[in-house]
C-alpha cells in the first residue's frame, strides 16, 4: 500500500501516545526506588513480628516460639529467626551470612543488611531478629527498574506493529476509495468500490456504498445523454436529406431575390449536416467502439499538411498559420485519421478566434516524462483568450465561452470534444491555458513511439 499522509498521521498519533505513556512510566520508576520502599515496609513488619516472638519465648518457652515462627513464615512467606545474644533460640538452619549479620547486630547494636535480602535487627532485652523477606511478587519483577529499559523497547516495537496494522486497516479502504474516485473522474464510469471493501460494516463501508450509488446514477445519466445524442444525430439525417432535395428543386424553379434566401437555407442546412456528422463522430468515440490501429505515423509530416491547408483558408480572412517543421522524424502510433481531426480541430479553432492580421503559431516539441517521452503539438492564437474558470470546460461538448457564442464564428462546440476523445484514445492528453502576453495556447501531448 502506498504511504499516505493520513496513514502517517494516524500511525504516528497512536505510536507516539504509546511512547509517551511508556516514557512517563519509565520516568516514575527510574526516579523512585521500589526495592527500598519494599524493604522498608518489610522491616516494619519484622520488627513487630520480633517483639511478638520475644513475648512468646519469654512467656511460653522455646516450643511455643518455634510454633509461632512457623506461623509467621506460613503467613508472610518470610524466613525469621530469633537470637538471644549470639545464641539461636529458634528452630531451623541459618546460613553463615545470617549468623554473621546477627553477630554484627549484637556487637554494634544497629540493624544490619546483607546480600540476598537478609536483615538482622537488635530488639529489646538483648534479642536479635534475623529475617529474609519473601520473594518479590510478579508485579515488582515487572516494574524492576533494572529491566524496564528492555521491556519498554519490546513494548514500543510490539506497539508499533499494532499501531501500523490499526492505521492500515483505517486508511487502506480510504486509499481504495481515492483510487476509485480518480478512475471515475478519468472517465471509467463503471468503477465501483463495494467489492474491494469486503464485509466491512463501519462508516467507511457506508461511504463506499454512497460512492457506488452516486457512480451508478452519474453513469446512467451519462449513458442517457450519449444515447440521446446518438438518436438525435441518427433521426435528423433523413429529414435533412429530404430538405436538401427540396432546396434543390426550389432552386430550379426560382430566380432573383428568392435565390438569396435559398442560398441562406442551404448554408444553414450544410451547417446542420456538419453538426450532425460531428455528433455521430463524438458518440462513436465516447461509446468505446472506436479502435486505434497501431500504425506508425510521422507526426511532423501530419502537422505540416494540416498547417498548409489551414493557412490557405486563413489567408481569405487576413490571418495566417506558421509552423517550422522539425528536421527529424517524430513518430507516434495510432490512427492517422483520428489524429488529423484532433490537430485540425485545434488549429482551425485558433484560426477562427485569432485577431485579424495575426498568425497562429504551431509548434512541435519533445518533452521528457517519467515514463518516457511525449510529443507536444502546441497551438497559440493571438485572440482575447478565455476566462481562467472556463479553461477546464473548453473540451466539453457544446460548451461556448460567452464572448464566442455568436454563430457567425462558425463553431459548433463539438470539435474540441472530438479532439479530447481522439487524443485520449491514443494515450495522450489535451489541455489549454492563457498566454501571459495574450492569446490562448492549446497543447496536445502524445506518447512517442
pLDDT tens per residue across span 180-210: 888 887 777 788 887 777 677 777 778 888 8
Q: How far apart are CA 178 and CA 182, in angstroms?
A: 6
Residue 330: pLDDT band by 50, 70, 90 thresholds?
Answer: confident
Residues near 76 by Cβ (< 8 Å), separated by ≥ 6? 45, 49, 134
Q: How far apart are CA 318 and CA 356, in angstroms?
A: 6
Containing 404, the helix (H) or strand (E) segment is: none
pLDDT beyond 90 at 379: yes
Residue 407: pLDDT band by 50, 70, 90 thresholds?
Answer: very low
pLDDT beyond 50 at 405: no
pLDDT tens per residue across span 267-319: 777 767 766 666 666 666 666 555 666 788 898 899 999 999 889 888 888 99
Q: Which of 234, 382, 424, 426 is catalytic?
A: 234
pLDDT tens per residue across span 243-252: 777 777 777 7
pLDDT tens per residue across span 64-110: 878 888 887 777 777 888 888 878 888 778 888 888 888 888 888 78
Residue 380: pLDDT band by 50, 70, 90 thresholds?
Answer: very high
Q: How far apart are CA 424 and CA 444, in angstroms?
A: 10
Closest CA to 299 of 212, 234, 374: 374
pTM confidence score: 0.49
Q: How far apart are CA 141 and CA 43, in angstroms?
A: 20
Which of 47-51, 318-322, 385-389, 416-420 is the most confident on average?
A: 318-322
Residues near 162 by Cβ (< 8 Å), separated by ≥ 6? none
Q: How far apart are CA 196 and CA 174, in angstroms?
A: 11
Active site residue 234: yes
Sheet with 429-434, strands from edge to edge, namely 320-323, 359-368, 373-380, 440-447, 429-434
Amino acid at each position: 500500500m502506498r504511504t499516505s499522509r493520513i496513514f502517517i498521521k494516524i500511525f504516528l498519533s497512536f505510536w507516539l501516545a504509546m511512547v509517551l505513556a511508556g516514557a512517563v512510566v519509565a520516568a516514575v520508576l527510574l526516579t523512585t526506588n521500589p526495592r527500598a520502599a519494599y524493604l522498608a515496609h518489610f522491616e516494619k513488619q519484622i520488627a513487630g513480628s520480633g517483639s511478638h516472638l520475644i513475648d512468646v519465648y519469654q512467656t511460653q518457652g522455646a516450643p511455643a516460639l518455634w510454633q509461632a515462627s512457623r506461623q509467621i513464615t506460613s503467613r508472610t512467606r518470610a524466613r525469621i529467626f530469633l537470637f538471644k545474644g549470639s545464641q539461636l533460640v529458634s528452630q531451623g538452619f541459618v546460613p553463615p551470612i545470617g549468623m554473621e549479620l546477627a553477630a554484627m547486630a549484637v556487637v554494634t547494636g544497629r540493624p544490619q543488611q546483607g546480600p540476598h535480602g537478609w536483615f538482622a535487627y537488635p530488639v529489646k532485652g538483648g534479642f536479635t531478629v534475623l529475617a529474609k523477606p519473601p520473594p518479590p511478587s510478579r508485579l515488582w519483577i515487572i516494574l524492576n527498574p533494572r529491566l524496564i529499559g528492555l521491556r519498554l523497547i519490546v513494548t514500543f516495537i510490539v506497539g508499533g506493529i499494532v499501531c501500523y496494522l490499526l492505521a492500515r486497516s483505517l486508511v487502506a479502504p480510504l486509499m481504495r476509495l481515492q483510487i476509485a474516485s480518480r478512475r471515475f473522474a478519468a472517465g471509467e464510469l463503471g468503477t465501483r468500490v463495494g467489492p474491494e471493501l469486503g464485509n466491512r460494516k463501519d462508516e467507511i463501508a457506508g461511504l463506499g456504498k454512497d460512492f457506488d450509488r452516486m457512480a451508478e446514477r452519474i453513469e446512467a445519466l451519462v449513458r442517457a445523454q450519449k444515447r440521446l445524442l446518438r438518436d438525435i444525430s441518427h433521426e435528423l439525417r433523413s429529414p435533412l436529406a429530404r430538405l436538401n432535395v427540396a432546396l434543390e428543386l426550389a432552386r430550379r424553379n426560382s430566380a432573383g431575390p428568392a435565390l438569396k434566401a435559398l442560398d441562406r437555407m442551404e448554408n444553414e442546412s450544410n451547417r446542420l449536416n456538419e453538426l450532425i456528422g460531428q455528433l455521430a463522430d463524438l458518440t462513436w468515440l465516447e461509446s468505446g467502439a472506436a479502435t486505434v490501429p497501431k500504425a506508425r505515423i510521422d507526426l511532423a509530416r501530419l502537422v505540416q499538411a494540416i498547417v498548409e491547408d489551414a493557412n490557405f483558408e486563413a489567408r481569405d480572412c487576413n490571418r495566417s498559420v506558421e509552423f517550422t517543421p522539425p528536421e527529424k522524424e517524430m513518430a507516434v502510433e495510432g490512427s492517422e485519421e483520428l489524429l488529423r481531426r484532433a490537430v485540425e480541430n485545434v488549429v482551425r479553432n485558433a484560426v477562427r478566434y485569432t485577431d485579424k492580421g495575426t498568425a497562429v503559431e504551431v509548434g512541435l516539441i519533445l518533452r521528457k516524462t517519467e515514463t518516457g517521452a511525449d510529443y507536444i503539438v502546441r497551438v497559440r492564437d493571438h485572440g482575447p483568450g478565455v476566462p481562467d474558470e472556463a479553461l477546464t470546460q473548453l473540451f466539453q461538448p457544446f460548451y461556448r465561452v460567452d464572448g464566442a457564442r455568436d454563430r457567425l464564428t462558425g463553431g459548433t462546440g463539438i470539435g474540441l470534444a472530438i479532439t479530447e476523445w481522439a487524443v485520449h484514445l491514443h494515450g495522450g492528453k489535451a489541455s489549454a491555458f492563457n498566454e501571459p502576453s495574450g492569446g490562448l495556447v492549446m497543447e496536445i501531448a502524445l506518447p512517442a513511439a
